[in-house]
């Protein structure tokens, strides 16, 4: 669906299962940057069925800079009841510190936009910490509009992973 997007010194491409260890390292760096809890030690294992099953629940694009992954973005399909349309939820967009300011973030965001549109999404929605003024400026420069909301989180059970069942060969929430 998405073609590799070449730029000087690298390419933005869909992630492969072979990228999972590097993606997990990028996720750990991203979580540390956002002052979040550390990612699980087995993150790569947990991400594999989510990203690479026959019916993935999310997709990942990576910035491959000469064989080194220096950035990633993950997104999934969501539904807006008020608009009665699909949209893409951009869960993560991260470029490592030494490579920021070189246009990779904009190229990655545009690649997500193109991939989401190809999957039928009318728009992309996401959030960023309110203290991350560099990201907020970046998103404004990209043409995004901020919408004031407060994010909430409510655990459904003590376990880290929700119990899941299989319905018709597809993972389903209980």
What is the rounded CA–CA span in Å between residue 129 and residue 86? 24
**Tokens at residue 74, please?**
């993950």
Closest CA to 40 of 28, 52, 22: 28
Is the confidence at residue 161, as pLDDT, over 70?
no
Percent of the chain residues topping a pLDDT of 90: 74
Contact (Cβ atoms closer than 8 angstroms) between residue 23 and residue 44: yes
The DSSP letter of residue 2 is: P
The mean per-residue pLDDT over the stretch 40-53 comes to 98
pTM attached to this predicted model: 0.83
Instruction: List domains and CATH numbers for the chain.
Output: 5-173 (3.40.630.30)
Q: Is 100 helix (H, G, I), strand (E, B) or coil?
A: coil
**Whole-number pLDDT of residue 167:** 53
pLDDT at 13 over 60: yes
pLDDT of residue 1: 44
Tell me the pLDDT of the chain averaged across its residues: 89
Name, in order, each residue with C-beta under 8 angstroms of 81's C-beta and a sequence gap of 6 or more: none
φ/ψ (deg, to 5) at 15: -70, 155
Cβ neighbors of 134 (< 8 A, separation 6 or more) are: none
């Amino acid at each position: 669906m998405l073609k590799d997007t070449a730029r000087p010194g690298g390419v933005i491409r869909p992630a492969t299962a072979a990228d999972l260890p590097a993606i997990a390292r990028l996720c750990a760096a991203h979580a540390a940057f956002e002052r979040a809890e550390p990612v699980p030690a087995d993150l790569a294992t947990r991400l594999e069925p989510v990203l690479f099953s026959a019916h993935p629940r999310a997709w990942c694009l990576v910035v491959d800079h000469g064989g080194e992954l220096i950035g990633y973005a993950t997104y999934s399909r969501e539904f807006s009841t008020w608009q009665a349309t699909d949209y893409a939820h951009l869960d993560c967009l991260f470029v490592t510190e030494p490579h920021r300011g070189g246009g990779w973030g904009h190229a990655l965001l545009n690649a997500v936009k193109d991939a989401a549109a190809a999957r039928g999404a009318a728009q992309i929605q996401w959030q960023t910490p309110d203290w991350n003024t560099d990201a907020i400026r970046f998103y404004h420069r990209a043409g995004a509009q901020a919408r004031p909301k407060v994010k909430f989180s409510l655990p459904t059970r003590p376990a880290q992973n929700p119990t899941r069942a299989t319905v018709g060969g597809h993972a389903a929430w209980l």
